[in-house]
A and B are shown apart, each in its own frame.
Chain A
Amino acid sequence: MTLDHAVWSMLQEALAIYRDSPRASSWLRSHAERFTEPVRVAVAGVQGIGKSTAVNALIGDAFSPLPEFTWYRNGSTAAAQVVCGPRASEVPVTRRGSRVTVDIGQWDKIDRVVVDWPSRSLRDVVLIDTPASATPEQIFGDADAVLYLMRHLRDNDLQFLRSAHDHPIARVAAVNTVGVLARADEIGGGRIDALSSAKQISRRLRRDVQVQPLCQNVVQLAGLIAVAARTLREDEFVALRALASLGREELEDYLLSADRFVGPSFPVDLEASARQGLLDRFGLFGVRLCCALIRQGFDTTVKLTGQLVQRSGLGELRDSIAIHFVERREVLKARTALLGLDVVLRMEPRPAAFRLMADLERAVASAHDFRELRLVAALQGGRTKLPTELEAEAMRLIGAEGTTSLARLGFDYDAPADEQREVLLDALARWQGQASDPHLAHDHRRAAQIVVRSCEGMLTHLG
């Protein structure tokens, strides 16, 4: 029985056992519902780090930020509601240019704002923008997975990330966080190579011994530039092209500082207000980057947008969400449901649920998906050691780079099933050898057993 089947039947069983408890059964029902929804990804981080901007970048529209938990989910038409306890009230959503405003009006207390929005980016995830006042409990309670935005790694960032692991089940399946090095355009003080510098820093953080057990991955993001790129207007493009028509040296003095860029004397015929507009949307670094790119020949809106999206890190962020969250949907959902079940079993223990409690423990301890993820973490954190080339292969086979059989087997093209099977059998034999070699260390052999199990799983799939 696969993990999600096991968890689903446990939820059903619990619903039957707790039929007579309104509190428990409504909690369990909401978890059963949640089990089938897309993955909920919360965007968290300190105030002003760029959470709302990152959400906008992912959706591709510029929503005015709200000081509330705001859920964005896929919908056939644009609509929004304010949710407060059991009540939900419709509120208007208006669009002006690239700016979208949800007018929530006045409320004493709001649980969350839910925005339905037609967007391809929301097909597989629900994005949750969190307010500055959000506690880790609220965030990790609502979400199945978290994007954690930070500038550099500071003590309080580690504190937040660690708080996610306070629960024993959460610790066993610490699989749901991607770190984001935010405001990448400001790294290096806005130097033109800021974004590649940011990339190197996120690469270092990814390997940091303190970060590895806490984050599946760390990527960089210049959210401001990503939003501007995805919502680039024609008039903006025209203005940028006019700027770029001037030589680099001629423009240099006016791009030294934000103040100079909007100052009264300017060599290009461009209103100060238009320049201010560009600055607000792109930032000084963004303006510099756009000029450089247009001069390099990315001189149409499509070309420019493509470059900006890629360089801003939005591309990598989306990939990370796909690999670590969307592809792992089953595991993440199972994890959330198990945590939910655990709450009920602890809060309202009763003899009829004892067996369920044992099942839960067993599921947590034995689910192969969790084992894979634990091994990924152990290998990354250096707790388990394998020779370098074996480690790389093991990581791939247990799904650290993607859980499709193509990704696991290391194909970068759509290989036919036969070819895949051939590679797989080869890997399987090698790892079976590792698993049964008595000369190898105990944890080495145990790791190999998990890899073997992953290969066997693929074999059944490939048929």
Chain B
Amino acid sequence: MAPPWLDVLDETIGACVTHRRPDLEARLREKRAQQMDPKLRVLVIGETKQGKSQLVNALINAPVCAVGDDVTTTVPTFVQHSETPSAALVRNASSRSKIMNAPTERVAVPIEQVTKQVSTTHSGELVRAEIGIPRALLTSGLVLIDTPGVGDTRSAHTASTFATMMQADAVLMVSDATGELTATELALLKQIMSACPNVTVVVTKIDLVPHWRTVVERNRSHLARAGIPAKLLPVSATLRLRAAKTNDQVLNTESGFPELLACLQRDIVASADLLARRAVSVVASSAISQLVTPLREELTAHDSRQTEATISTLQEAQRRVDELRRRSARWQNVLNDEMADLISDVEYDLRDRTRKILREVDRTFDDADPAHGWEQFEQWLEDNLNEAATTNFAWLMERADWVAEKVAKNFPVYREDILPGSVLPEDLLDPVGKLEKPKIEPFTITQKLFTGLRGSYGGVLMFGLVTSLAGMPLINVVSLGAGALFGGKTIKDEADTRLKRRQAAAKAAAQKHVDDFFMKFSKDIRDAGRHIQRSLRNHFATLAEELQETLLESARSAKRAVQDDASQREQRQREARRELDKLVTLYKRVQALGGTAAMELSA
């Protein structure tokens, strides 16, 4: 059965056809296609070896994610529906270019071999694995995403987990029953909650642990004490997989999976329908209002029965079209100026941050001996650069949102959808992967900001950042040894000069590292800025075209009113009134979809 929002959307599309508005029609069709193929990202995360991959396998009863005793998962695996089983690896096209938006390539592999291929491909090259498999659970658009363990010492893994996290519609946090939730796990949960409130804690391996009920109880109180309103479900993947093999219903129930599946259906798939309805409601309302405007003007024109008044309406419409053209130059200027400012400010900010870090480095190595604690220093430097980049990027996003609002203010009319859903263009994240398509148009301002941020952290920030930094390790001034570092004439040197030279070398190494970082990351940031600017321009240009079309239509109908003779006039008037009534009814249904109190659309 088609969901109710689909009927309403199709009727609205029909109305656009009737009223000869191909522009609106195209927009609604695009939305329709998006909504017909929704992606609900369910992210499976947790510390290493909690049974995340096995959980995904057990959910769909197929061994598509690699499971192992030692650290196994190094890149995310996306599992979604397809009519025939398929698998692909997405890799960096060239291992050299590690900048954001580096081209990736998608290589199909036989599904039976995907786990093996994932573990044998050099992890630096692999971006993710994609699995397509026919499963009822996935037909609603559910995408299960298996991720590398958080807190694993190879930090790039962790970062990519967070990257994916920020784009999730729901999160399954996996923690096995052999221990209670730890402070780190609780902290992670809190962090996730702030980005994606739909979180379920899955306690795995209950087959193995005699006192798993106590663990579950204690976990509940840990959650309560930490103020984390997450659901909690105990399961055993081992029992579930065995039940599937032996077709044992009782064992399947014991595995706890029926409840987990029900929870996925109820909380995730169902809530997705709500999101879809709201999104459709917003675009359809906007389209209908635009259809109504010319009709209304035509009716007023007829009502007045005054040719003069009608002529003035016609002039008015003409005037507004001109005004729109003039203003359109204005908003484009605003956009260009603001974005130019923004990019230079953000770059300045980044430079300032890196300078502060370097100053701190210099101060440190005025006294400290790099021979001691170089590792800690490297860690410190990496952390600080990461933090600088994160803050800098968050600021870019914030400013971009602000620019969007400022441009909107310079727009001749206000519409509900005047602000773009996200200032981040869709193709920023990944030019190839179709999984990266943003899903649902947001419906409130806060939602908009939230999605914008999600996008930012998800895509560019983490991927861009991690890859900017990856592969450029600091040289170790200590392990270089005296010879290489001091041109071979070390041995006779005084201890003190040796220290001085070591310090100078450390400073130089850090300086070079930070410079490299600045070069790469500031390029990423500039690219991101340009992308944003382009996508904002497209967004507002489309809006402007639609507006212009609406105004022109008003002018045309006013013209018709002037030209028509009396009987024709009456006939048209009746038609217009009927059409208007139809649109008003449709509008009410559209509003009801979104669950918002119906806004009056004056006829």
Which chain A residues have a beta carbon within 8 Å of chain B's beta carbons? 46, 48, 151-156, 158, 162, 168, 171, 183, 186-190, 194, 197-198, 200-201, 204, 210, 256-260, 262, 276, 279-280, 283-285, 383, 442-443
Whole-angstrom CA separation of A390 from B238 in the bound complex: 47
**A257–B236 CB distance below 8 A:** yes
The contact of B153 among A153, A171, A187, by CB within 8 Å, is A153
**B151–A154 CB distance below 8 A:** yes
Given contacts A189-B51, A257-B254, contact A280 B178 (CB under 8 A): no
Which chain B residues have a beta carbon within 8 Å of chain A's beta carbons? 47-49, 51, 54, 69-71, 151-153, 155, 178-180, 182, 184, 205-210, 212, 236, 238-239, 242, 251, 254, 372, 375-376, 479, 481, 483
Whole-angstrom CA separation of A372 from B167 in the bound complex: 52
**B69–A197 CB distance below 8 A:** yes
Whole-angstrom CA separation of A158 from B209 in the bound complex: 27
Whole-angstrom CA separation of A256 from B239 in the bound complex: 7
The contact of B207 among A152, A154, A194, A257, by CB within 8 Å, is A257
Looking at the assembled complex, report how far the CB atom of B201 sits from the nearest CB atom of chain A, in whole angstroms: 18
**A258–B207 CB distance below 8 A:** yes
SS class, residues of chain B in contact with chain A = loop
Whole-angstrom CA separation of A153 from B179 in the bound complex: 16
5 tightest Cβ-Cβ pairs between the two chains A and B: A257-B207, A258-B210, A197-B69, A188-B69, A190-B208
**B153–A257 CB distance below 8 A:** no
Looking at the assembled complex, report how far the CB atom of A283 sits from the nearest CB atom of chain B, in whole angstroms: 7
Whole-angstrom CA separation of A337 from B426 in the bound complex: 64
Chain B residues, CB < 8 A from A198: 69
**B239–A155 CB distance below 8 A:** no
Chain B residues, CB < 8 A from A262: 210
**B209–A201 CB distance below 8 A:** no
Whole-angstrom CA separation of A154 from B185 in the bound complex: 12
**B153–A158 CB distance below 8 A:** yes
4 further interface pairs, Cβ-Cβ under 8 Å (given A152-B71, A154-B153, A204-B70):
A152-B49, A154-B152, A162-B375, A171-B372
**A258–B47 CB distance below 8 A:** no
Looking at the assembled complex, report how far the CB atom of B466 sits from the nearest CB atom of chain A, in whole angstroms: 16
Looking at the assembled complex, report how far the CB atom of B184 sits from the nearest CB atom of chain A, in whole angstroms: 7
Instruction: Give the interface centre of A168, A187, A257, A276 by most chain B CB atoms within 10 Å.
Output: A257
Whole-angstrom CA separation of A48 from B215 in the bound complex: 12
Chain B residues, CB < 8 A from A259: 206-207, 254
Chain B residues, CB < 8 A from A204: 70
Given contacts A256-B251, A283-B210, A383-B479, contact A189 B153 (CB under 8 A): no
Looking at the assembled complex, report how far the CB atom of B538 sits from the nearest CB atom of chain A, in whole angstroms: 43
**B69–A187 CB distance below 8 A:** yes
Which residue of chain B lies nearest to A165 when distances are taken between CB atoms in the complex? Answer: B373
Which residue of chain B lies nearest to A172 when distances are taken between CB atoms in the complex? Answer: B372
**B48–A154 CB distance below 8 A:** yes
The contact of B212 among A158, A258, A283, by CB within 8 Å, is A258
Chain B residues, CB < 8 A from A189: 51, 54, 205, 207-208, 238
Given contacts A155-B151, A183-B178, contact A200 B208 (CB under 8 A): no
**A162–B376 CB distance below 8 A:** yes
Given contacts A187-B69, A201-B70, A383-B479, contact A156 B207 (CB under 8 A): no
Whole-angstrom CA separation of A99 from B387 in the bound complex: 52
Chain B residues, CB < 8 A from A442: 481, 483
Given contacts A186-B178, A256-B239, contact A201 B69 (CB under 8 A): yes
**A168–B251 CB distance below 8 A:** no
Instruction: Give the interface centre of A189, A280, A284, A383 by most chain B CB atoms within 10 Å.
Output: A189
Looking at the assembled complex, report how far the CB atom of B65 sits from the nearest CB atom of chain A, in whole angstroms: 15
Looking at the assembled complex, report how far the CB atom of A276 sits from the nearest CB atom of chain B, in whole angstroms: 8
The contact of A210 among B49, B51, B153, B210, by CB within 8 Å, is B153
**A443–B481 CB distance below 8 A:** yes
Looking at the assembled complex, report how far the CB atom of B128 sits from the nearest CB atom of chain A, in whole angstroms: 23
Whole-angstrom CA separation of A46 from B184 in the bound complex: 11
Whole-angstrom CA separation of A442 from B491 in the bound complex: 11
Chain A residues, CB < 8 A from B51: 189
**A256–B242 CB distance below 8 A:** yes
Which residue of chain A lies nearest to B204 when distances are taken between CB atoms in the complex? Answer: A189
